[in-house]
């Protein structure tokens, strides 16, 4: 779905530094936008605001035709239908790969979980726990988990930052294939311009 942000203003409650001032953004349906910028420029904060994890933001955010945030409206994070891949993946350590992926599903559909496991090429690892997986496998589990809830929007916060350079090359290609197959509007935060050039249709510098 299309994402549009109008007149976004944000500052942290503790510090008065303004992170966003009258910030506008539009991302078309199915488009992959890479967000680049220095540390502290607000890349991850922007994703958190869109997801509804930061409540201090002011402005209008629309996902599709639905307003999820405005002066009078604040749709809580669990109702925004947004998939989020965290920088450190935040996989539930006491759940297996299968249980992690199925966690966000309303009805635990075995076929759907199996198809997601196939999509991210984790066949045979369903019963493993996150600490028994490599960094790349954890990243793919996190991606499958985010996709399982059929989100309207996918947000990825530095998905390659914890991985070896050699592995990143292969994963970029994998991720590109998955994102193309899903045709999902995606915002990808990265500090590496190469991630942006390989994966994104458009780049935004903060």
Partner 1 sequence: MAVLDVVPWGFAFIDFYFFGKKVHRYFFLAAGYNSVHSGFSKIGVKYSEAASTLGKGRLYALVRVELPMVKTSLISGFLLTFIDILKELPLTLLLRPYNFNTLASRAYEYANDERIMEASVPALMIILISVIVLLFFVGIHQKKISSVKDEVKS
Which of 3, 36, 146, 178 is close enough to bind partner 1 by CB under 8 A?
Answer: 146
- Using CB under 8 A as the binding rule, whether residue 51 contacts partner 1 is answered as yes
Question: Least CB distance from residue 82 to partner 1, whole Å?
Answer: 6
Site size toward partner 1, by CB under 8 A: 27
DSSP letter string, 102-166: HTT-SS--HHHHHHHHHHTT-TT-TT--GGGS-HHHHHHHHHHHHHHT--SEEEEESTTTTS-HH
- Using CB under 8 A as the binding rule, whether residue 72 contacts partner 1 is answered as no
Structure tokens at 74: 């604040």
- Using CB under 8 A as the binding rule, whether residue 149 contacts partner 1 is answered as yes
- Using CB under 8 A as the binding rule, whether residue 13 contacts partner 1 is answered as no
- Using CB under 8 A as the binding rule, whether residue 92 contacts partner 1 is answered as yes
Part of the chain binding partner 1 (CB under 8 A), chosen from 27-35, 64-72, 85-93, 167-175: 85-93
- Using CB under 8 A as the binding rule, whether residue 78 contacts partner 1 is answered as yes
Give CA–CA dist 205/169, Å, rounded: 22
Q: Which residues contact 13 (CB under 8 A, 6 or more apart)?
A: 56
Question: Least CB distance from residue 78 to partner 1, whole Å?
Answer: 5
Longest CA–CA separation in the chain, Å: 50
**Residue labelled with tokens 């045979």:** 124
- Among 138, 130, 184, residue whose Cα is nearest residue 161: 138
- Using CB under 8 A as the binding rule, whether residue 153 contacts partner 1 is answered as no
Judge residue 73's burial from the number of C-beta atoms within 10 Å of its C-beta, 0-12 exposed, 13-18 middle, 19 or more buried.
Answer: exposed
- Using CB under 8 A as the binding rule, whether residue 131 contacts partner 1 is answered as yes
- Using CB under 8 A as the binding rule, whether residue 55 contacts partner 1 is answered as no
Give CA–CA dist 106/113, Å, rounded: 12
- Using CB under 8 A as the binding rule, whether residue 3 contacts partner 1 is answered as no
- Using CB under 8 A as the binding rule, whether residue 84 contacts partner 1 is answered as yes
Residues that bind partner 1 (CB under 8 A): 51, 53, 76-79, 81-84, 86, 88, 90-94, 103-104, 106, 131-133, 145-146, 148-149
């Amino acid at each position: 779905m299309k994402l549009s942000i109008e007149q976004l203003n944000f500052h942290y409650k503790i510090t008065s530094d303004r992170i966003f001032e009258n910030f506008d953004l539009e991302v078309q349906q199915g488009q992959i936008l890479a967000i680049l910028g220095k540390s502290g420029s607000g890349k991850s904060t922007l994703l958190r605001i869109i997801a509804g994890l930061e409540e201090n933001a002011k402005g209008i955010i629309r996902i599709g035709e639905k307003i999820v945030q405005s002066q009078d409206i604040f749709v809580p994070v669990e109702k925004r239908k947004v998939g989020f891949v965290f920088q450190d993946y935040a996989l539930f350590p006491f759940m297996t790969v299968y249980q992690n992926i199925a966690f966000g599903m309303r009805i635990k559909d075995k076929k759907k979980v199996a198809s997601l496991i196939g999509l991210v090429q984790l066949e045979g690892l369903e019963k493993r726990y996150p600490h028994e997986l490599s960094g790349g496998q954890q990243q793919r589990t996190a991606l499958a988990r985010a996709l399982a809830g059929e989100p309207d929007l996918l947000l990825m916060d530095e998905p390659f930052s914890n991985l070896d350079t050699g592995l990143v090359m292969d994963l970029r290609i994998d991720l590109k294939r998955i994102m193309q197959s899903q045709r999902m509007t995606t915002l990808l935060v990265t500090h590496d311009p190469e991630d942006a050039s390989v994966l994104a249709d458009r780049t935004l510098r903060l």
